[in-house]
Every structure is written in C-alpha cells, then in structure tokens.
Structure 1
C-alpha cells in the first residue's frame, strides 16, 4: 500500500487577542486511510508570553498512514483555547487546513475563526467569559453547515510539516 509520513510541529500562534493560549489538534483522514504509527490528536502546553504577542509551542506531530488511494486526504483541524487566571478555558478559534500533497517541507499558516453569538452573548462573553461554541467540532473540517455560522476571525497558527510519500507509483496511486 502507498504510505504517507507526516513529520513536523505546531510551532506557534500569533494575532490572538490575549495571552495564555493552548491548542488541541487532530488529523482527520477518509475511510481508506489507516494509521500505522503515531497519534491522530493531541494538545500543546499553555504558553503565556510576557513580552511578545506570539505563543510558542513547538509541539511535535509524527504520524504514518497507509492508503489505497488519495480520496479522503488528511487534514489537520485545530481548536485554540484561552486559559484565564482562574484556570477557566474558553474557545478562541477553530481552524483546519489540508496536509500538502507534495513531498517536502512546508510552512503552513492556519487562520482561525470563532462563532459570534447575539449581542447579548457578546456582552455576556465580555463580562463573564465563555461564548458560543460548536456543538460538533466536525463542522470545522466537514463544512456541511459551516456556511450558516456567523463568525469572526481570530489569530493564526503556524506549522512546519514535512511530508514523505512512499510506494505511490508502485501501487498506481497518483497525486
């Protein structure tokens, strides 16, 4: 079977409205894909930069897939959270991007967004924290009902991923 190795890291995040953020991530692939080794999901540590607006995570990603075709090519989905001084966590942004189909090293900037509620929700969020969240995080990368959401842009998550393709020509899989 054809093999795809994804090796890299979630490097940092920038342009978020406040500090003390962390990221939950996952890699979603279609039904014809099987994980041989590695983790499909994880979470970074909380970074609270004092002098810069960039949170550095340098969180590793290392996963090995096998597949019979390119349908359902992997994509990475992200959820960025803010942790306040009381330890409460609120969603700061959702995002996803496709894993590159070409071999080599790739720098990826994933723009994030979050749902915006009514004016009452926004006032409550300002004074009490929290805010609207997605009931099903699958909406982030499936997109079936995403067009109905009112959203606002948040920050950007920076990743460096290396993609290695193996045996694609041997098994007749074309990218």
Structure 2
C-alpha cells in the first residue's frame, strides 16, 4: 500500500477578534484510507498572547501515518476554532478546511476560517450573550455545493507547518 506521513504542527491563530482561543481538529479522508499510526483528531490547549493581540501560539504537534491503495479521497484537516469567554464558556469562532499537500517536503499552510452569519436577531444575541449560529451537520462543510449557499463571515487564519513523506506511490502508478 502507498503511505503518507504527515508530521508537523498546528502553529498559531492570527487575526481573530479576541484572544483565549483553542482549536479542535479532525482528519477527514476517503473510504480507501486508513490510519496506521497517530490520532485522527485532537484539541490544542487554550492560548492567548500578552504581547501580540493578533496572535495565539499553540505549536500543537501532528504526527499521522496513513495508508491507501489510491489517491481518491485525499486527506483534509478540518478545524473548529473556539473562544473562551470570561465565564469559561466556549463559543465557536470559526470553521476551516485545508487539504493535506500532495507533494513531499516542508509546507507552510494557512487555513482561512469562517462562521455562519445568521440573521439580525442572531447577531444581537451573539453580541450580548456570546455564542452564535453553528452548523448542525458538519458534513455540510465537506460539500462545496452546499457550503456556498451559506451566509458566512470571515474570521481569522490558522497556520500549520507540515512535513510530508510519501512512500510506495510509484508502485501504484502515481508520480510526484
């Protein structure tokens, strides 16, 4: 079987409107992919910066070893960024989806996040009480046709650094 090693880190969050952020991540891959070693999901610690109000550094490690018989359903990393308010409540700040690169080597990736906008009533509640609209079915994020129907607003950027090792792809007729 062909193998993909993803080694790196979820480095930081930039340009979010508030501090005290954490990130939940999930690996999403096609049916022909399986995880040999490593975790398919995780959560960073809560981070904030006293010196730079636009940046939260996580440096959360990623180490995933995957195997596949074909390239269909290439892996993606799905992110949810949350803000911790002064009462300790977690509020969703954004969703993001980024495709794992298809070429070996070192890659610096920026995942742009967004969240549902909601109507005027939702925004007033969000301003005074926190929270906000969330997606009921997360599978909607993986379908571009359905995702573009949503009314959204841009949030911040999550930076990832990954090193990719591809193995035995030549045996399956895939050149890189």
TM-score normalized by the length of structure 1: 0.97
Q: Is residue 95–residue 112 contact of structure 1 (8 Å, CA) maintained in 2?
A: yes
> What's the CA shift string for 1:8-45, capped at 9, x where partnerless?
00000000000000000011000010110000100000
Q: Is residue 68–residue 173 contact of structure 1 (8 Å, CA) maintained in 2?
A: no
Separation in 2 of the partners of 1:156 and 1:28? 20
Q: Is residue 70–residue 174 contact of structure 1 (8 Å, CA) maintained in 2?
A: no
SS at match of 1:138: helix
SS at match of 2:171: coil
- 1:123 is matched with 124
Which structure 2 residue ranges, 5 or more long, are not aligned?
none
Separation in 2 of the partners of 1:173 and 1:130? 45
Q: CA deviation at 1:139?
A: 1.8
Separation in 2 of the partners of 1:174 and 1:138? 31
RMSD: 1.0
Q: Is residue 74–residue 100 contact of structure 2 (8 Å, CA) maintained in 1?
A: yes
- 1:83 is matched with 84
Alignment of structure 1 residues 95-106 onto 2, 5 Å: 95-106=96-107
- 1:160 is matched with 161
Alignment of structure 1 residues 1-175 onto 2, 5 Å: 1-52=1-52, 53-174=54-175
Q: Is residue 11–residue 58 contact of structure 2 (8 Å, CA) maintained in 1?
A: yes
Separation in 2 of the partners of 1:138 and 1:44? 22
TM-score normalized by the length of structure 2: 0.96
